[in-house]
Chain A
Amino acid sequence: MRELTYAEAVREALRLEMRRDPSVFILGEDVGKFGGCFGVTGDLWQEFGEDRVRDTPISETAIIGAAVGAAATGMRPVPEIMFCDFLTVCMDQLVNQAAKMRYMFGGKAKIPMVVRAPVGGGISAAAQHSQSLEAWFTHVPGLKVVMPSTPADAKGLLIASIRDDNPVMFFEHKLLYPVKGEVPEGEYVVPLGKADVKREGSDVTVVATSLMVMKALEAAEKLAAEGVSVEVVDPRTLVPLDEETILASVKKTGRVVIAHEAVTRSGFGAEIAAIIAEKALDYLDAPIKRVGAKPAPVPFAGVLEKYVLPGTDDIVAAVKEII
């Protein structure tokens, strides 16, 4: 199968959906001719013009507000927020407006929009450009939250997100953008709410999201050399969450490590751990382990950043603690 980078896969999903459905359009800062801060929208403005690949002023409140208004009235906007950190600027539009309109109106409106935003550190971009804020949004009923870890998933999940009638937060990891992988051609859809077992194993389950899936696979490789068989489960979407696949894996292995790049404290790993504790405690042979960022903002200097953010070795160490 042909290979695409993660960024190209996102772009292909956007292109196909924009061709298929004239109500789909993009808006955001520098998404037009410039091609997006990380080059994701690329040449889309050439094919679809500046009406459908819309450059906006630096006004996150207006970007998301306009997306909500357009979505409520028949369009399917796909706004891009340049860094997920800037979602703080438009939290009202997301949390009080987009997430709740349908419910508050007694089911009378739908808000089909997909907010794309890059997460993650690792490039010395410091504390206001490196966060992983997905857990904030999983706490808000009415929002769906998607975090693809591979190019194929990025494409398939984005198509599913655009076709979904709800506001979807779609988090892409900056370090994944250049990563290549096989991507099916055409209208490839990965349904929301289906986890993927990225590697089968029998001794320990590692539930990992986004970039940490890659790191979990690296860890699994290292541990395999030492005779430990690791199963890597990628939930792919946090809301809705495929509890069944996670629980089935945990019941099989009896041990689980949960890994995400966001700060461990109150991260989404806490939710997964709670679900496992509630529904599969009797199957556990060891305490549930969480791997995530240490409790500090993401620092600038490489040595500091590396210390704060979780890596492959942290996953290996966590697995070793429970086997």
Chain B
Amino acid sequence: MEKEKLIWMYRQMVRIRQFETKVSELFAQGRIPGFVHLYIGEEATAVGACANLRQDDFITSTHRGHGHCLAKGGDMKLMMAELFGKETGYCKGKGGSMHIADVDMGILGANGIVGGGLSIAPGAGLSAKLRGTDQVTVCFFGDGASNQTTFHEGLNLASIWKLPVIFICENNQYGISLHQSKHQRIADVADRAVAYGIPGVVVDGNDVMAVYEAVAEAVKRARAGEGPTLIEAKTYRWRGHFEGDPTVYRSEKEVQEWKERCPIARFKKHLLEMGILSEADIEKIDAEVAEEVEAAVRFAEESPLPKPEEALEDVYA
């Protein structure tokens, strides 16, 4: 892979980490209202996947969507402004964290309904097929979402119509408080691919290169008209389900073990060893991203609130 791409991937992961860390602080200070679900610990999955996508490809995202949005090319300033509920935000303050979207960038929205994207992604795939383009759609969803009816119906439809969709299950092992072992009998969600006659691939979701390669193969298949793939990325969320979750359902030891498998530290080590980045380069990227995050917060803070009456706009086209 080209050096630039590797560095881009590293930078994206750092952007997600720093953005989320800042959001966590701001939420704790009461400066961001509503619900926020952070992606810290899972950065390699969004970045490894989106590194395969063009701007005109699509993604469907989830309630834990900040990472997907950034990796697909979302604008950090507009995201932060949306989290603050400002007029300049992605959704003019109407959506908030759970509904950030950038349709021009192919980001078909975060989603407040677990499993919501699983039914929409096949539609985006169908559209590409009918319009005769080679655009693909990546559908991100959680292990918990794999038990919704939309999982079955979405994968079935995509498989019979050979739709260009890559289903990526971000298996972070919990749906809120319920461990995967208590919400499904199987250990690998990817096993379910058999039921749809499509490839099912398990990948280390904390290894950005492994994710990249698995998704590259699936994207190739999709663009060639060979249909969908189900990829399961094994990963872990470091934070609670939502900010403020007391996380009584898991042990501190488990969290620590996963922190030791930090996807960013791991990729950094790899890049240093390969001589692609030096310690100085890394510091520079970290500092640049920190400045980008600060600028996003400033932008959000300085932006005006929406006017109340605007609440009634955008209901219909």
Is A294 in contact with B311, judged by CB distance below 8 angstroms?
yes
Q: If the complex has contacts A30-B177, A126-B95, are A304 and B34 also in contact, measured as CB distance less than 8 A?
A: no
Residues of B within 8 A of A88 (CB): 113
Is A86 in contact with B308, judged by CB distance below 8 angstroms?
no
Is A86 in contact with B113, judged by CB distance below 8 angstroms?
yes
Is B310 in contact with A59, judged by CB distance below 8 angstroms?
no
Q: Which of B143-151, B157-165, B188-196, B289-297 contacts A (4 or more CB under 8 A)?
A: B143-151
Write the B29-49 contact mask toward A (1 if CB under 8 angstroms, else 0).
000011100000000000000
Write the B90-132 contact mask toward A (1 if CB under 8 angstroms, else 0).
0101111011000000000001111100000000000000000
Interface membership of A141, Cβ < 8 A: no
B85 nearest in chain A by CB position: A301
Is A125 in contact with B113, judged by CB distance below 8 angstroms?
no
Q: If the complex has contacts A127-B112, A307-B308, are A55 and B182 also in contact, measured as CB distance less than 8 A?
A: yes
Is A57 in contact with B178, judged by CB distance below 8 angstroms?
yes
The answer for the CA separation of A125 and B34 in the assembled complex, in Å, is 5
Q: Smallest Cβ distance from A238 to chain B, in angstroms?
A: 25
Q: If the complex has contacts A34-B176, A58-B175, are A125 and B315 also in contact, measured as CB distance less than 8 A?
A: no
Is B94 in contact with A301, judged by CB distance below 8 angstroms?
yes
Which one of B82, B86, B99, B184 lies within 8 Å of A127 (CB-CB)? Answer: B99
Residues of A within 8 A of B177 (CB): 30, 32-34, 55
Is B308 in contact with A58, judged by CB distance below 8 angstroms?
no
Is B148 in contact with A304, judged by CB distance below 8 angstroms?
no
Is B96 in contact with A33, judged by CB distance below 8 angstroms?
no
Is B112 in contact with A300, judged by CB distance below 8 angstroms?
no
Is B308 in contact with A57, judged by CB distance below 8 angstroms?
no
Interface membership of A29, Cβ < 8 A: yes
B246 nearest in chain A by CB position: A34
Q: Smallest Cβ distance from B295 to chain A, in angstroms?
A: 21
Interface membership of B270, Cβ < 8 A: no
Which one of B111, B114, B308 lies within 8 Å of A306 (CB-CB)? Answer: B308
Interface membership of A299, Cβ < 8 A: yes
Is A301 in contact with B145, judged by CB distance below 8 angstroms?
no
B111 nearest in chain A by CB position: A128
Write the A289-305 contact mask toward B (1 if CB under 8 angstroms, else 0).
00000111101111111
The answer for the CA separation of A187 and B273 in the assembled complex, in Å, is 70
**Which of B86, B93, B309 has its CB near the most chain A CB atoms (within 10 A)?**
B93
Interface membership of A280, Cβ < 8 A: no
Q: If the complex has contacts A124-B96, A297-B315, are A304 and B308 also in contact, measured as CB distance less than 8 A?
A: yes
Interface membership of B183, Cβ < 8 A: yes
Q: Smallest Cβ distance from A43 to chain B, in angstroms?
A: 12
Q: Smallest Cβ distance from A297 to chain B, in angstroms?
A: 7
Is A55 in contact with B178, judged by CB distance below 8 angstroms?
yes
Interface membership of A61, Cβ < 8 A: yes
Is A300 in contact with B91, judged by CB distance below 8 angstroms?
yes
Q: Smallest Cβ distance from A202 to chain B, in angstroms?
A: 35
Interface membership of B8, Cβ < 8 A: no
Interface membership of A317, Cβ < 8 A: no
B176 nearest in chain A by CB position: A30
B242 nearest in chain A by CB position: A37
Residues of A within 8 A of B309 (CB): 307
Interface membership of A236, Cβ < 8 A: no
Is A61 in contact with B91, judged by CB distance below 8 angstroms?
no
Task: Name A49-83 residues within 8 Å CB distance of B.
Answer: 55, 57-62
Q: If the complex has contacts A294-B311, A307-B308, are A29 and B93 also in contact, measured as CB distance less than 8 A?
A: no
Write the B170-190 contact mask toward A (1 if CB under 8 angstroms, else 0).
000001111000111000000
Is A34 in contact with B248, judged by CB distance below 8 angstroms?
yes
Q: Count A-side interface residues using an 8 Å CB cutoff.
A: 38
A90 nearest in chain B by CB position: B149
Q: Smallest Cβ distance from A3 to chain B, in angstroms?
A: 25
Residues of A within 8 A of B94 (CB): 126-127, 297, 299-301, 304
The answer for the CA separation of A306 and B307 in the assembled complex, in Å, is 11
Q: Smallest Cβ distance from A245 to chain B, in angstroms?
A: 35
Write the A235-250 contact mask toward B (1 if CB under 8 angstroms, else 0).
0000000000000000
A59 nearest in chain B by CB position: B147
Q: Smallest Cβ distance from B216 to chain A, in angstroms?
A: 30
Q: Smallest Cβ distance from B46 to chain A, in angstroms?
A: 21
Is B85 in contact with A303, judged by CB distance below 8 angstroms?
yes
Residues of A within 8 A of B33 (CB): 123-124, 300-302
The answer for the CA separation of A86 and B111 in the assembled complex, in Å, is 12
Is A304 in contact with B310, judged by CB distance below 8 angstroms?
yes
Residues of B within 8 A of A58 (CB): 114-115, 144-145, 147-148, 175, 183
Q: Smallest Cβ distance from B275 to chain A, in angstroms?
A: 45
Residues of B within 8 A of A297 (CB): 94, 315
Interface membership of B312, Cβ < 8 A: yes
Q: Smallest Cβ distance from A236 to chain B, in angstroms?
A: 30
Interface membership of B306, Cβ < 8 A: yes
B89 nearest in chain A by CB position: A301
Interface membership of A286, Cβ < 8 A: no
A-B contact pairs, 17 of them (CB 8 A): A30-B178, A34-B249, A55-B178, A57-B178, A85-B113, A123-B33, A125-B34, A126-B95, A126-B96, A127-B95, A300-B34, A300-B95, A301-B94, A304-B94, A304-B310, A307-B308, A308-B311
Give 14 new A-B contacts, CB below 8 A, not counting A129-B98, A303-B305.
A55-B178, A58-B148, A86-B113, A125-B35, A127-B95, A127-B112, A295-B315, A297-B94, A300-B82, A301-B33, A301-B85, A301-B86, A304-B306, A307-B309
Please list the 8 inter-chain residue pairs (A to B) with the smallest Cβ-Cβ separation, ordered nearest first.
A301-B85, A300-B96, A128-B112, A301-B93, A307-B308, A34-B177, A124-B34, A57-B147
Interface positions of B (Cβ within 8 A of A): 33-35, 82, 85-86, 91, 93-96, 98-99, 111-115, 144-145, 147-149, 175-178, 182-184, 248-249, 305-312, 315
Interface positions of A (Cβ within 8 A of B): 29-30, 32-34, 37, 55, 57-62, 85-86, 88-89, 123-129, 294-297, 299-308
